[in-house]
Chain A
Amino acid sequence: MNNTVLELENISCEYKNDLILNKINLKINSGEKIALLGKSGSGKTTLISVLNGTIKPTQGKVKLFNESFEELDRKQKSKITTIWQDLRLIEDLSAEQNVNCGLLAENNFYFAFKNLLNISSFKKAHKYMKLCRLHNSIYDKKIGKLSGGQKQRVAIARSLIQESNIILADEPFNNLDPKLITTIKNLLLENVDKNNRKKSPKTALVALHRLDLLNNFDKVIGIRDGKIFFNIKRNNLKKIHLEKIY
């Protein structure tokens, strides 16, 4: 059953007359695990920002669950979560407070208030931080005091805690050592977590550089100069494909 969850129709993006995305058409089906490949500067981050509604394209239409993005309400929009390349954590808040920010969508104002006052429950946050192999000694540390890899995992935990159907991850393995990369990749892609309880996001699009990490993905998209050069099953990926984009 191929139902499309996210769709780009003829998307173009300009920055001061520079065409960053050039007439992109893309369908992402429910449950697909997609790897997004491309040199740095090819437009991966911009594509992800368009997909999550942060950047309004100069041209074209973004559809989520077959509806135009602007027409969706907050609850529906919150079915997408993003791990940003530059993390975008709030530096002055602690790690656990940042992770709790992921819960803002499903809670009311009072929760946000309690989170800032540090009197909310961090149970769920701690659970996800543990899944990301974050040690409990850093739970209440300010983001500014964490290492690159720790920050990276806080950002991942903030995203995973949202338990969204669709996860967009922009180079999420930066700063992580090989063992952690495997753990995190499983968290992002597997439908079932270690304890066979929690369902992780169904649909995933992950921008990455390392070709050795491509197993477990269903599809590979290659992007260069803002254009999609190929969009194929992983099994069909050949050397010539990669030569086109690198």
Chain B
Amino acid sequence: MNKLKFNYTSLSFLPILVCIPLGYQLINNIHFGGFKLFQEFLISAFNPKIDNEIIITVIKRLNETILIGFFSWLVSIIFGAIFGIISSNIFYKIINIPNFFYRIIRFFLTIIRSIHEVVWGIILMQIYGINFSIGIIAICIPYIAVNSKVFAEQLETIDYKNFESINQINAPKFSSLLTLIWNPIINTFKNFGLYRLECSIRSTVILGLFGIGGIGTSIFLSFQTLNFRELWTYLWSLAILIILSGLIFKKIKFNTTNKILSIFFIAVFFITILFSFSYFLYFIFNNNFENFNSVSSLFKSSSDLGLFDFLKLILETIILSLLSTGIAISLPPLVIGIFNNNSSKIFIKIFAFLLRLIPTPVILLTLLTFNNPSLSLAALTLGLHNAGITSKLLFTNLDSQDKRNYIAMKSLGISNKTSWLLGLFSQQAKSYLAYCAYRSDIIIRETAIVGVIGSVGLGWQLQESLSSFAWQEVTIVLIAYSSIAIVGELINGKIKNSLT
């Protein structure tokens, strides 16, 4: 090897350098007090508790999770599509509304999106108390904004020439609009629908950890009581749910040529919209604000947060995001590259599945059994969880890739690892990095979750401020949060553009 060259391949591995400061802090914080607990946690995975009682609980809890997950998915994907349309260029090209509205809607959605559903959940719970529908609302708020971005991005792919030709027919504006956006919308639904359903279920579980209900609450309670066998029953049942929902979703064919099915989908579409609106109104007029007595309390409450502390929290959050992103980018190619044989591959896939399955707070709590809480530990948690997600994508892409180069190199006697690196991964590196840029947006938002539990960054401060009803502090923290997330999204957008 001569000089280190900056290409997409090396850039995929370089971020692993974050392990140096990370490892240093982790080693300094190591303790062996919880080793037995950790061992028990691992063993319980193979020995989950199964009896009548727990199965009944599991079914009940799963029902709640499915209910929250499914409805928040349905509502957020439908409203996501609607907001996606009204925040897309094509809408403003066809309907004569000043571009000004486009900016406002996009800005508004960016802000909503920048705050994680857990944060929305915690805030809403603080205001309205714990309530089943809070879960749905908390997920829907950021999800509508996230989905609308996905839809709007797909709508940008409409060929300008098609727009011109439909426009030239001079049809009523909404007819032209619908004709142009129809296929991109349907395709987005087909391609992202399942993924978003999975996301909804995961978010429901995480909100459950914070008390919303469903399987997440059970997971949290069983962890708190160190009931690991029960914990694993819940985790495995969650795994089954996620796998099953994937299988069912793949079975459903969105055949738009089937009249009855089309009418059914349209009916679901409008009923969901109507129901959401009426529920929204009901919610607004029928809820007692438990602790949030008036808007004025927002200004009366004082803030004990000094400027210095505040800046430190922001810095912590940024470092946390960077470290986690580093792990999420580099760990998968490194591990897959080094252990490049069929049996290791299965093992890595299972491990990655577990990292995706186990909610980040639970991973963090597990790691706490042999490490004191620190920024590095939170970063490790978030990094590992997201590495589970990036590695899934990497595996999918590698598996579907043309392997001729790789086989040719191996037959030339080049080592297994080098062939993998140069023959397989190097062709994936660019698109992999582009995906990681997108993933890093999500990581920034997720720092809130580990922050709350790992006592670092703004997430932790948010929890503190909320529990002392310091609404002004809450507002400041939220503004700081969303600023970081928005700046992150801008930077990642630039990176993504240069990669695609």
A binds B: yes
A: residues with CB less than 8 A from B are 49, 52-54, 74-75, 77-78, 80-82, 84, 86, 88-90, 92-93, 101-102, 104-105, 107-109, 111-113, 115-119, 140, 162
Residues of B within 8 A of A118 (CB): 256-257, 259, 262
**Shortest 5 CB-CB distances between A and B: which pairs?**
A104-B171, A88-B165, A112-B175, A78-B170, A92-B183
Report yes or no: B262 in contact with A119, Cβ–Cβ below 8 A.
yes
A52 cross-chain contacts in B, Cβ below 8 A: 168
Contacting A at CB under 8 A, from B420-436, are none
Q: Which residues of B contact A109 (CB under 8 A)?
A: 172, 174-175, 178
Contact across chains for A115 and B179 when beta carbons are under 8 A apart: yes
Q: Judging by beta carbons under 8 Å apart, are A78 and B169 in contact?
A: yes
Q: Give chain A residues whose Cβ lies under 8 Å from the Cβ of B180.
A: 90
Using a CB-CB cutoff of 8 Å, which residues 98-140 of chain B contact chain A?
Answer: none
The reply on B182 being an interface residue by CB < 8 A is yes
List, in ascending order, chain B residues with CB within 8 A of A101's CB: 166, 169, 171, 179
- Chain B's nearest CB lies how many Å from the CB of A106? 9
Question: Taking the complex as formed, is B162 at the interface, i.e. its CB lies under 8 A from any CB of chain A?
Answer: yes
Contact B175 A107 (CB under 8 A): yes
B309 on interface, CB distance cutoff 8 Å: no
Bound: A219/B178 CA distance, A: 40
Contact A111 B175 (CB under 8 A): yes
- Which residues of A are found within 8 Å of B179, using beta-carbon distances? 90, 101, 104, 112, 115-116
Residue of A nearest to B158 (CB): A90
| Contact residues, B464-494 vs A (CB, 8 A) | none
Pairwise interchain contact A74-B168, C-beta atoms closer than 8 A? no
Q: Are A54 and B168 touching (Cβ within 8 A)?
A: yes
Main secondary structure of the interface of B (DSSP, over half): helix
Cross-chain contact of B161 among A88, A93, A112, A119 (Cβ < 8 A): A88
CB of A104 within 8 A of CB of B183, answer no
Instruction: Give the number of A-B contacts (CB < 8 Å).
Output: 88
Q: B170: nearest residue on chain A (CB-CB)? A: A78
Give chain B nearest CB distance to A79 CB in angstroms: 9
CB distance from A69 to the nearest CB of B (A): 12
A107 to B165, CA, bound (A): 17
Please report the C-alpha to C-alpha distance between residue A112 and residue B179 in the assembled complex, in whole angstroms. Answer: 7
Q: Give, as a whole number of angstroms, the nearest-CB distance from A91 to chain B.
A: 8
Complex Cα gap A92–B257 (Å): 13
**Listed A/B pairs (20) with beta-carbon separation below 8 Å:** A53-B168, A54-B164, A74-B171, A82-B168, A88-B159, A88-B165, A90-B183, A101-B169, A101-B171, A101-B179, A104-B169, A104-B171, A104-B179, A105-B171, A107-B171, A111-B175, A112-B172, A116-B179, A116-B256, A118-B262
Q: How far is the CA of A86 from the CA of B162 in the complex (A)?
A: 10
Note all chain A residues with C-beta closer than 8 A to B167. 54
Q: Does B366 contact A (CB under 8 A)?
A: no
Q: Is B176 an interface residue (CB 8 A)?
A: yes
Given the known interface contacts A88-B164, A93-B183, the answer about A102 and B169 at a Cβ–Cβ threshold of 8 Å is yes
What A residues does B165 contact at CB under 8 A? 82, 84, 88-89
Which A residues are CB-close (under 8 A) to B164? 49, 54, 88
Q: Tell me the minimal C-beta distance from B267 to chain A in angstroms.
A: 12
**Distance in angstroms between the alpha carbons of A117 and B267 in the assembled complex:** 13
A172 → B minimal CB distance (Å): 14
A77 to B166, CA, bound (A): 13
Collect the chain B residues with CB atoms within 8 Å of residue A107's CB: 171, 175
A117 touching B161, Cβ below 8 Å:
no
Q: Known pairs A90-B179, A90-B183, A101-B169; list 8 more (Cβ under 8 Å).
A: A49-B164, A89-B162, A104-B179, A112-B172, A117-B262, A118-B256, A118-B257, A119-B262
Check B256–A104 contact: CB distance below 8 A. no
**Which partner residue on chain A sits nearest B167 by CB separation?**
A54
* Closest-CB distance, B96 to chain A (whole angstroms): 12
How near does chain A come to B24, taking the closest CB pair, in angstroms?
A: 54
Q: How far is the CA of A112 from the CA of B94 in the complex (A)?
A: 15
Specify which chain A residues have a CB less than 8 angstroms from the CB of B176 in the assembled complex: 104, 112
B183 engages A105 (CB within 8 Å): no
B168 near A113: Cβ-Cβ < 8 Å: no
**Which residues from 252 to 269 on chain B have a C-beta closer than 8 Å to any C-beta of chain A?**
256-257, 259, 262, 266
B162 touches A90 (CB 8 A): yes
Could you tell me if B175 and A108 are in contact, using CB atoms closer than 8 angstroms?
A: yes
Q: Is the CB of A162 within 8 A of B175?
A: no
Residues of B within 8 A of A116 (CB): 178-179, 182, 256
A39 to chain B, nearest CB (A): 22
Q: In the complex, are the beta carbons of A162 and B178 less than 8 A apart? A: no
Chain A hits for B262, CB < 8 A: 117-119
A162 near B169 with CB under 8 A, answer: yes
Per-residue CB contact flags for chain B residues 52-80 toward chain A (1 = under 8 Å, else 0) read 00000000000000000000000000000
Distance in angstroms between the alpha carbons of A54 and B161 in the assembled complex = 10
B405-425 interface code vs A (CB 8 A; 1 in, 0 out): 000000000000000000000
The interface residues of chain A lying within 8 Å CB-to-CB of B174 are 109, 112
User: Given A104-B179, A105-B169 in contact, is the A117-B256 Cβ separation under 8 Å?
Assistant: yes
With both chains docked as a complex, state the minimum distance between the C-beta of A92 and any C-beta of chain B, in angstroms.
4
For the complex, give the distance between the alpha carbons of A206 and B159 in Å: 25
A53 — which chain B residues lie within 8 A by C-beta? 168
A61 to B165, CA, bound (A): 21
* Docked complex Cα distance between A117 and B180 (Å): 13
How many Å lie between the Cα of A201 and that of B179 in the bound state? 25
Chain A nearest CB, measured from B222 CB (Å): 48
A113 x B169 contact (CB < 8 A): no
Q: Which residue of B lies closest to A73 (CB)?
A: B170
Q: Which residues of B contact A93 (CB under 8 A)?
A: 182-183
CB-contacts of B236-277 with A (<8 A): 256-257, 259, 262, 266
Q: B residues within 8 A CB of A92?
A: 183, 187
Most buried by A among B171, B178, B180, B183: B171
**Complex Cα–Cα for A104 and B165 (A):** 12
Contact present for A77 and B161 (CB under 8 Å): no
Closest B residue to A86 using CB positions: B161
Chain A residues whose CB sits within 8 angstroms of the CB of B168 once the complex forms = 52-54, 80-82
Tell me which residues across on chain B come within 8 A of A104, comparing CB atoms.
166, 169, 171-172, 175-176, 179
